[in-house]
């Protein structure tokens, strides 16, 4: 089957809201129809908007989601919306190239340089294997791969998620990668990924008290709270999250 990479800017030219919808012209209809009811990866370019003089985008893959349907834009001719569900941020942005390895083979020329023409396409179909590798890299911290910028994962939490002590090595695709794909729709994995994304966005600072909460072991003590609850189909996005101390989180949930 085919997956796809969807490009969206920080300040998109189109009517994108990545956790809910992706807006595109008819030019890309065939590519997106090929991924209906399947998974996509969001890519954010260096330019955050249509202004060619600005930079600041992640220049990497930063989230995944699933296209549930495609509808016509009623207000703009020859434009459509891909409706997105199961949106989930990666715990860190994944660059399009790691040393000499391109996550999308179509972005690499025979001489090893980047194919700028391919980069110019906002929608790019990719193989299941390429999607798996991007997913494994994007959730490396959640899966337990050590990183000097983040504390080691809680072993009890790893056990609860069913993740062992054998994180994936780069570029290796096997049955464990398939397990990662299946975990993306399951609540324990999503809660952990959401927590990592919210704590990073708020830099471990409680949104209400303004206190940075780090325990003696170097772990963040803030908790990730959904503004719109998951039970009410609130998305796992930074826009729908707050970093709160345990007490404030309890008060927030009981209001």
Over residues 177-225, the pLDDT tens digits come to 556 777 888 899 999 999 999 999 999 999 999 999 888 888 889 999 9
* pLDDT, position 163: 36
On whether the pTM is more than 0.85, the answer is: no
Q: Is the dihedral of CA 173, 175, 181, 187 positive or negative?
A: negative
Gap between the Cα atoms of 41 and 138, Å rounded? 10
Taking residues 97-121, what's their average pLDDT? 88
| pLDDT tens by residue, 147-163 | 433 344 444 443 433 33
The pLDDT score that the predictor gives to residue 121 is 94
Please provide the CATH number assigned to the domain covering 2-185: 3.10.590.10
CA-to-CA dists, residue 228 to 28, 32, 154, 247, 253, angstroms: 32, 29, 27, 19, 10
Q: Which pLDDT does position 141 carry in this prediction? A: 82
Residue-wise DSSP of 9-21: -SS-SS--BTTTE
Residue 48: predicted pLDDT: 65
Q: Which of the listed ranges 23-32, 91-100, 129-138 does the model predict with the highest average pLDDT? A: 23-32
User: Would the pLDDT of 139 be above 80?
Assistant: yes
Domain residue spans of the chain: 2-185, 205-255
């Amino acid at each position: 089957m085919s997956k796809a990479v969807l490009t969206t800017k920080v300040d998109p030219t189109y009517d994108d809201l990545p956790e809910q919808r992706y807006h595109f012209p008819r030019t890309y209809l065939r590519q997106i129809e090929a991924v209906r009811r399947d998974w996509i990866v969001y890519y954010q370019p260096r330019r955050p908007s249509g202004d060619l003089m600005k930079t600041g985008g992640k220049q990497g893959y930063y989230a995944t989601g699933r296209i549930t349907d495609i509808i016509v834009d009623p207000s703009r001719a020859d434009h459509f919306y891909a409706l997105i569900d199961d949106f989930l941020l990666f715990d860190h942005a994944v660059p399009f190239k790691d040393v000499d390895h391109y996550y999308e083979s179509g972005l690499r020329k025979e001489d090893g340089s980047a194919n700028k023409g391919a980069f110019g396409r906002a929608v790019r179909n990719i193989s299941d294997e390429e999607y798996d590798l991007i997913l494994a890299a994007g959730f490396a911290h959640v899966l337990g791969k050590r990183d000097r910028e983040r504390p080691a994962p809680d072993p009890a939490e790893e056990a609860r998620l069913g993740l062992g002590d054998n994180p994936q090595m780069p570029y290796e695709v096997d049955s464990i990668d398939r397990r990662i794909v299946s975990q993306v729709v399951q609540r324990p994995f999503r809660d952990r990924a959401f927590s990592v994304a919210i704590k990073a966005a708020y830099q471990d600072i409680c949104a209400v008290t303004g206190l940075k909460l780090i325990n003696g072991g170097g772990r963040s003590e803030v908790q990730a709270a959904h503004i719109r609850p998951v039970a009410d189909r609130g998305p796992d996005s930074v826009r729908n999250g707050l970093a709160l101390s345990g007490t404030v989180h309890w008060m927030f949930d009981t209001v």
